[in-house]
C-alpha cells in the first residue's frame, strides 16, 4: 500500500492560506485534508464550500473533505462544484441504506467515497459499506477539535479493517506524529492526516519526510 501524507488545514495559519498550502506542497504532502463541521454533529464549526473551492482552485493536490455533519447528502453537488477529490461521511448520522445512497452519489459525481468511524464504533460497522467505499477513516481521537492525544486502543480497529479489506486505503486522523504514524502503519493504515505535528513544526518538510519514512519502515502491507 502506498503511503500518503495528508496535512490537515484545520491546523494551518488560515490568515496566510496560500503560503500555508505552498508550504505543504513543498514539504511533500500528497493530499490536503479539509474538515467541514456543522456545530451539530460535533461541537465546533469550521470551513465551508467556499473554502474548499479556494483550496482546490489554488492547489493541484487532491482536496479530501471530511464531513463532520448530520446531513452530508444534501451537499454532494456543492462539494463536486467546489472541486473536492474525496468525501468522507460518518456512518452513524443516518440509517445504513441512506449512507449507501450518499456514498453511491459521491462516486457518481466522480469523487472518492469514504466512511469514518468514531472511536466508540467497532471495525465491524464498516463491513456493510465496503462495496461502496474507496477508503475507511479510523478516527484516533474524538472528532471536532485538533491537537488531541492519540488513542492507542484504535490500533486493533485498524488491523481488523485491514484484514477485512486488504486493498482498501485506510486513513487515520487524530494525534498523528512520526511515532503514532509508525504504530498505525504497522496496524495497516496508509493515509495519515496530521495537523499540529506538521503545520506547527519548525521544519514541515523534514517532519513530513520523517513521518512518511516512519510509516514506510513500519508497514507490513
CA distance 57 to 54: 5
210 alpha carbon, distance to own chain's centre: 19
3-state DSSP assignment of residue 167: coil
Instruction: Please count the CA atoms within 13 angstroms of the CA of 175 that sit on its side-chain side.
Output: 18
Find out if CATH 3.20.20.70 is the number for domain 4-218.
yes
List the catalytic residues. Answer: 35, 173
At residue 146, the pLDDT reads 65
Strands 4-7 and 191-194: parallel
pLDDT single digits (tens) 64-73: 999 999 999 9
Whether 145 shows a pLDDT value over 80: the answer reads no
Average confidence score pLDDT of the chain: 95
DSSP state of 202: S
Quote the pTM value. 0.95
Q: Where are the domains positioned within the chain?
A: 4-218
Whether 221 shows a pLDDT value over 90: the answer reads no
Whether 144 shows a pLDDT value over 80: the answer reads no
What grid cell was written down for 144? 471536532
Whether 196 shows a pLDDT value over 80: the answer reads yes
pLDDT single digits (tens) 55-105: 999 999 999 999 999 999 999 999 999 999 999 999 999 999 999 999 999
Whether 212 shows a pLDDT value over 90: the answer reads yes
CA distance 176 to 86: 20
pLDDT single digits (tens) 128-143: 999 999 999 999 998 8
Whether 207 shows a pLDDT value over 80: the answer reads yes
Amino acid at each position: 500500500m502506498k503511503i500518503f501524507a495528508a496535512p490537515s488545514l484545520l491546523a494551518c495559519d488560515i490568515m496566510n492560506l496560500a503560503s500555508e498550502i505552498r508550504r505543504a506542497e513543498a514539504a511533500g504532502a500528497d493530499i490536503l485534508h479539509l474538515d467541514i463541521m456543522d456545530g451539530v454533529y460535533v461541537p465546533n464549526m469550521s470551513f465551508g464550500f467556499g473554502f474548499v473551492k479556494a483550496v482546490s482552485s489554488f492547489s493541484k493536490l487532491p482536496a479530501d473533505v471530511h464531513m463532520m455533519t448530520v446531513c452530508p447528502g444534501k451537499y454532494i453537488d456543492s462539494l463536486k462544484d467546489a472541486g473536492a477529490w474525496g468525501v468522507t461521511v460518518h456512518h452513524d448520522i443516518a440509517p445504513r441504506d441512506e449512507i449507501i445512497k450518499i456514498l453511491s452519489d459521491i462516486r457518481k459525481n466522480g469523487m472518492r467515497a469514504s466512511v469514518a468511524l468514531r472511536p466508540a464504533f467497532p471495525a465491524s460497522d464498516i463491513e456493510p459499506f465496503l462495496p461502496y467505499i474507496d477508503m475507511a477513516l479510523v478516527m484516533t481521537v474524538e472528532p471536532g477539535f485538533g491537537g488531541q492525544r492519540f488513542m492507542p486502543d484504535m490500533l486493533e480497529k485498524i488491523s481488523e479493517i485491514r484484514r477485512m479489506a486488504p486493498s482498501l486505503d485506510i486513513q487515520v486522523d487524530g494525534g498523528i506524529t512520526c511515532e503514532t504514524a509508525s504504530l498505525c502503519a504497522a496496524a495497516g493504515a496508509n493515509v495519515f492526516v496530521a495537523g499540529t505535528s506538521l503545520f506547527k513544526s519548525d521544519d514541515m518538510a523534514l517532519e513530513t519526510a520523517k513521518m512518511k519514512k516512519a510509516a514506510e519502515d513500519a508497514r507490513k502491507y
